Amino acid sequence: MEAFVKFYDRLASVVSKIAGVIAGMCIICVAFIVTYEVIARGLFNAPTEWVLEVSTYLIIVAGFLGLGITLRHRAHVSVDFLTSRIPSRARCILDAATTLLTIILFYIFMTEATDLVMASFEFNKLSPSILRFPLWIPQSAMIYGSILLEMELVRQLLNDLLIMKRGNLGVIDDGEAK
């Protein structure tokens, strides 16, 4: 089991890092196109019609693609004033249970997002702007982000189970298989 957990950890790490780089590139693109809009509007009195829509799509893509890498680095918001006071074994069990519940909830979210994307694709839904952009493209970020988060959640659950199996509960905060 340990070999599988290490392999899965490395795989999830590579996939999450690639998605994180793409998310970062989306944010950089937003910075450039918003700067372009400010210059075009302020200096040349020539506002664009596409910047708001494209930057919104890029922010959505960046947000969803960043879910996995954010979880890997334990950077999501968490409230631990109670869990930090309970014993390590109980905390590990609680972490595993919470992770399992999150896997289930995000699976439901992913299936609903897939239904939304498929409907947008099937009915050729377009943005109500001058771009007439196919909505299924930015909506797909919900599916990709959910897959990335699910991968990291499974990794986290496997690591928690491995820690419980080994009995070395002092290494809970590390989050990566050793």
The residue ranges of every structural domain in the chain are: 2-73+86-171
Tell me if 169 sits within 8 A of 163, measured CB to CB. yes
Return the structure tokens found at 66.
């960043």
The mean per-residue pLDDT over the stretch 95-119 comes to 97
Tell me if 27 sits within 8 A of 163, measured CB to CB. no
Count of CA atoms in the C-beta half-sphere (13 A) of 151 = 25
* pTM greater than 0.85: yes
pLDDT tens column, 22-66: 999 999 999 999 999 999 999 999 999 999 999 999 999 999 999
Count of C-beta atoms within a 10 Å radius of residue 70:
19
pLDDT tens column, 72-101: 998 988 888 888 888 888 888 999 999 999
